[in-house]
Structure 1
């Protein structure tokens, strides 16, 4: 017979756990680097109830971009593909939000035209894509690390 233990949380702990961000990932590859396995920026440990839907989406997108970039080689940068749209892939050069519910991506499309996508958080649906860096560029541009640094309150 297995002995089980029961954990009892106080009402304050239950309320706090209910508003603190939670994330879980399972991968088939045991070597995969889940976003939840990294050190989170300070902003992601703050209660969700204090944030707008746009800010909360913005912060999590940054976490996913940074984690995706960690898995890229030196010849690729992160691009953004949009599900259900004819926009194609955008090389991400900036990310922002406008409270309470708008997230915006700044970048360049595949033909080199400046691009800005403005998206309502209820329509949030993006694909991160490994895009080849520009031939004349010695190092890939890693925007995820700059964005995460800004979440920690550092000047990016």
Structure 2
């Protein structure tokens, strides 16, 4: 920290700026850290969001970005970090302020699953799973979540 004096406007502007970064070992398409925030996410200052809401919004960006790189034969799923619980096909995500994130979905066998997680323990491993053979198009939950976020 230097001896610089900042105006109130400069402090407010600095607090509204997003802090993110990423380094890749090989060239790849832009990731959420490199993209500007959608306007809908920028309307409410970060300081006014609960940790759960802010984590939820950023998870949507990561899931949508992951889905953009999938072919038509695969869908996004979530692997459970640090356990043998397997994977869950992501079919919905929610948050309960101030600190709970919930994932809704199904396991590869079709059984209904739900994971409820405190934001301080949030670990998400995104995986690509083949879509169901009887399904003409893959489900794209990230795009639906992003549309819903834009409406808010």
Matches within 5 A, 1:2-151: 10-38=7-35, 40-45=37-42, 46-151=44-149
SS in 1 for 2:41: helix
- Partners of 1:41 and 1:149 within 8 A in 2: no
Q: CA deviation at 1:9?
A: 5.7
| Structure 1 CA distance for aligned equivalents of residues 25 and 40 of structure 2 | 29
| Structure 2 CA distance for aligned equivalents of residues 20 and 82 of structure 1 | 32
The runs of 5 or more residues in structure 2 that have no matched partner are: none
Over 4 Å off, 4+ runs: none
Q: Which moved more, 1:34-43 or 1:89-98?
A: 34-43
| Total equivalences in the alignment | 148
- After TM superposition, the score normalised by the length of structure 2 is 0.88
Q: CA deviation at 1:87?
A: 1.9
- After TM superposition, the score normalised by the length of structure 1 is 0.86
The runs of 5 or more residues in structure 1 that have no matched partner are: 1-7
**RMSD in angstroms over aligned alpha carbons?**
1.9
